[in-house]
Chain A
Amino acid sequence: MLEPAELDGAVDHVLAAVLATRGADFNNYQRPFVIRRLRRVADRHRMNGGVTELAARVGENPLLVGDVIDSLSLGFTHLFRDPGMWATLRSDVLPAFDSRTLVRAWVAGAATGEEAYSLAITLVESGLSPQRFRIYATDINEQSLAQARAGFVAPDRISAGNHDYLASGGTAALADHFPLSGGGSAGEETLFDRTLSERIVFARHNLASDASFNSFDLILCRNVLIYFNAELHARVHEILFESLVPGGVLGLGSRESSRGSAHARQLDTIDQRSRLYRRKW
């Protein structure tokens, strides 16, 4: 077993190799998470020497660098995660969007699309026709984005999400938004409703290095900040704040808050439990 300082050195070496060869900077990610993900990569490649062996081999193998980036940038989520937040969004936020001709939303850290799908369903069930909203869903992981764009969601994930969907105030059955795909194998695949998916743009965006790219009425950036240290936290909050129109709403994960933001005083808390904040006018 490595001493903590030796483990740190090996992790630093891997991250430096990733930065040098691909320009991806994970140095401001929380170190315990980075160690876990690097260990997964080492295990997958059957490296008995763990992260030390990964550090020794990463420079000579571009595939390993790609694997490290994928492993560190992988998002984990599910449909209608934290139903209380979605319920508050329905009851306290979306009614005010009634008067807008077009609602722009950004799902930052969209992973495999579940958050964007959940938002599209919530918007349309709240009375906004699909033509009246546009969702920009971004992530740094290209594989996740490709999966999100394809729109296939396994039926068991839809069944698993139905409880949270109903708890969020869902007015139908979640499966109604995921018709069976003609192209699925033996009817085992379901595809997210085309009329809704056409309103979502999935695109690559790196919160650690890219700038704000538009202004939005609603931004969901949930369970992303937990992976970042204070420096990156502050940077991401800066981007999120810049990207909100006055009166725009920001939703964070259930264990994330606005306190890492230099603009915390310009964000009113809509509901602390739901972690929903509104940029002051």
Chain B
Amino acid sequence: MVTTRAEADGVVVIGGSAGSMGQVEAILTKLPPLLAIPVVFILHRGMDVRAGAALAHRLGRVGRLEVVEVEDLTYYRPDQVYLAPPGYHTLIGRSGPTLSSEPRQSYSIPSIDSAFESAADAFGSAATVVGLSCANNDGLAGARQVLAAGGRVLAVDPALVSQPVLVRALATEPGVEFADPLGLAARVADATSGDSGGASTAPS
């Protein structure tokens, strides 16, 4: 029964809240049908298990990749992207996302901070994290960890979103790259090809 799973070369972790669906859909539309680097979405939402499954199903119809809610023994596959389930923290491992039932972090479960921090731990400079529209600061501390590890932080332009708390806070961090939702989607797609690097851009 025991299998050894391949470790990914890097990861892209994307965090936002319910108001970020438009940006999430823009990213999913841009992603290629096979990913060299896995993508994990951490979206704040209610605790309802059924609503969680419905969101994965809905997002799976947007692009060319299957959207899978993280379970035990979930391993990265190039034809899937991963969605944090409600009621758990999703932590980023090298061969797959894992779950934890610890208390809320940054007032949130799933917490974007815990996912970003674990991405920095697992992948160091090969971690890319993305801040979307979000109504609180969850993700800021994790993004700092990613920057400290030499990883890359992308964010949607705070002037263009309804809930700019997180991305406005990220604007004070040196090295964060900002873009409009379509430009951001293109950069995320580029990062999943596995050979990205990018010049920093100041927020508008």
Chain A residues with CB under 8 Å of chain B are: 1, 3-4, 7, 30-33, 35-36, 75-77, 82, 84, 223, 225-228, 230-231, 233-234, 253-257, 259-262, 273
B121 interface hit (Cβ, 8 Å): yes
The answer to whether A225 and B72 touch (CB under 8 A), given A1-B120, A32-B92, A254-B49, is yes
Q: B123 to A32, Cβ gap below 8 A?
A: no
Q: B3 to A230, Cβ gap below 8 A?
A: yes
Q: B124 to A226, Cβ gap below 8 A?
A: no
B79 interface hit (Cβ, 8 Å): no
A75 to B103 CA separation, bound complex (whole angstroms): 10
Please indicate the chain A residues that have their CB under 8 angstroms from the CB of B71 in the complex: 255-257
Please indicate the chain B residues that have their CB under 8 angstroms from the CB of A254 in the complex: 49, 85, 87
Q: A76 to B103, Cβ gap below 8 A?
A: yes
B148 interface hit (Cβ, 8 Å): yes
Q: A3 to B124, Cβ gap below 8 A?
A: yes
Q: B100 to A230, Cβ gap below 8 A?
A: no
A-B pairs under 8 A by CB, number: 91
Q: B148 to A32, Cβ gap below 8 A?
A: no
Please indicate the chain A residues that have their CB under 8 angstroms from the CB of B199 in the complex: none
Q: Offer 23 A-B interface pairs, CB within 8 angstroms, sorted by A.
A: A1-B120, A1-B124, A1-B150, A4-B94, A4-B123, A7-B121, A31-B93, A31-B122, A32-B118, A32-B121, A36-B91, A36-B100, A77-B101, A82-B49, A226-B98, A227-B100, A230-B73, A253-B72, A254-B49, A255-B69, A256-B72, A260-B72, A261-B1
Q: A226 to B1, Cβ gap below 8 A?
A: no
B20 interface hit (Cβ, 8 Å): no
Chain B residues with CB under 8 Å of chain A are: 1-3, 5, 49-50, 69-73, 85, 87-88, 91-94, 98-103, 114, 117-118, 120-124, 145, 148-150
Please indicate the chain B residues that have their CB under 8 angstroms from the CB of A35 in the complex: 118, 121
The answer to whether A262 and B1 touch (CB under 8 A), given A36-B102, A76-B103, is yes
A225 to B5 CA separation, bound complex (whole angstroms): 18
Q: B1 to A230, Cβ gap below 8 A?
A: yes
Q: Pick from B73, B93, B149, B150: contact of A32, CB below 8 A.
A: B93
Q: Pick from B85, B93, B118, B149: contact of A255, CB below 8 A.
A: B85
Q: A260 to B91, Cβ gap below 8 A?
A: no
A4 to B118 CA separation, bound complex (whole angstroms): 10
Please indicate the chain A residues that have their CB under 8 angstroms from the CB of B91 in the complex: 30, 32-33, 36
A84 to B85 CA separation, bound complex (whole angstroms): 16
The answer to whether A257 and B72 touch (CB under 8 A), given A4-B121, A226-B98, is yes
Q: A231 to B2, Cβ gap below 8 A?
A: yes
Given contacts A76-B103, A233-B73, A260-B72, 20 further A-B contacts (CB under 8 A): A1-B124, A4-B122, A30-B93, A32-B92, A32-B118, A32-B121, A33-B91, A33-B98, A35-B118, A36-B91, A226-B72, A226-B101, A228-B72, A253-B72, A253-B101, A254-B85, A255-B72, A255-B99, A259-B73, A261-B1
A225 to B74 CA separation, bound complex (whole angstroms): 12
Q: Pick from A1, A7, A223: contact of B148, CB below 8 A.
A: A1
Please indicate the chain A residues that have their CB under 8 angstroms from the CB of B103 in the complex: 76
A257 to B71 CA separation, bound complex (whole angstroms): 8
A84 to B70 CA separation, bound complex (whole angstroms): 19
Please indicate the chain B residues that have their CB under 8 angstroms from the CB of A234 in the complex: 1-2
The answer to whether A255 and B70 touch (CB under 8 A), given A31-B93, A35-B121, is yes
A228 to B69 CA separation, bound complex (whole angstroms): 18
- In chain A, what residue has the closest Cβ to B70? A255
- In chain B, what residue has the closest Cβ to A82? B49
A143 to B87 CA separation, bound complex (whole angstroms): 25
The answer to whether A226 and B100 touch (CB under 8 A), given A1-B120, A255-B85, A259-B73, is yes
Please indicate the chain B residues that have their CB under 8 angstroms from the CB of A30 in the complex: 91, 93, 98
The answer to whether A33 and B2 touch (CB under 8 A), given A254-B87, A255-B71, A273-B50, is no
Q: B118 to A273, Cβ gap below 8 A?
A: no
Q: A226 to B88, Cβ gap below 8 A?
A: yes
